[in-house]
Amino acid sequence: MEEEIYKYIKEHSSFPHEALRWVEKQTHIRTNHARMLSGTVQGEFMRLLVQVSGASRILELGTFTGYSAICLASALGEDGHLDTLEVNDELEDLITEGFEKAGLTDRITLHIGDCKETIRRFSQEGKEYDLVYMDANKREYCEYYDLVFNLVRPGGLILADNVLWDGKVCQNPLPQDKQTISIARFNDIVKEDPRVENVILPLRDGLSIIRRI
C-alpha cells in the first residue's frame, strides 16, 4: 500500500524538468548509489519551499549527482544563487553536465572538497544564507549544524535529509552504528534547541524542516 500511495503522489505532482530525468537516468548508469537521489516528490517539495520562503541564497551540503541542487536552484529568481558542496571529485563531470542541461550554471557554484573546511571558509568570508540543505555525511550532521547555524539568517531555514534513517532512530535499543547514533543525536539536539522551531516530515527517509527564530 505504501508503494502504491507514493506512486499515486508522484503521478499527481508536477512533472520534473527534463534535466532531472536526465540526471536520474545517468545516476543509475554511472553510479552504484541511485537510491541517494532526492526523487521527484521530495525534489518538487523543496522547489516549492524555496519559492514560498522567498529564499535567494542557498547552501547545499552534499549534492551527489546534482538532482537536489537543480530542484533548489530552479526556484531561485534571477539574482538568486546556490553554493553546493560535494566531496567526491569523480562526480564533478556528471554534476556539471546536469547543471548545463538545466540551464543553471549561472545560478550554481559547485565546490569540490571537505564540507566542514568549506563551511569554515564561508564563515570567514561572512556569507549568509536564507536556506541550508544538509544531505552529506550522516556521521557529521551535528558538526554541520553547529557550523552552518550562524550562516543562516534569522527566519531562515535548515533542511536536513534522512533524519529517520530507515526507521532505525525509532528502534529500542538504538542500533549502535555511527550513522544512526549521529542522526538520533542530531534530532535530539534540534528538538531541544531554543533558537529554532522544527518539524520532521515522513517524506522518503525523513526530512527535518528547521526554522531559525
Domain count, the chain: 1
Give all strands of the β-sheet with 57-61 in edge-to-edge order.
Answer: 108-112, 81-86, 57-61, 129-134, 152-161, 207-212, 196-201
For residue 1, pLDDT beyond 70: no
Q: β-pairing, 81-86 with 152-161?
A: unpaired
pLDDT tens track for 146-156: 999 999 999 99
Average pLDDT over residues 51-66: 97
**pLDDT recorded at residue 17:** 83
Per-residue DSSP letter, 174: P
What pTM value is reported for the model?
A: 0.95
For residue 213, pLDDT beyond 70: yes
CATH number of the domain enclosing 119: 3.40.50.150
Look at residue 170 and give its three-state secondary structure: helix
Domain that holds residue 73: 2-212
pLDDT tens track for 59-104: 999 999 999 999 999 999 999 999 999 999 999 999 999 999 999 9
The cell 508536477 sits on which residue? 14
In the chain the first and final C-alpha atoms are separated, in Å, by 38
Per-residue DSSP letter, 21: H
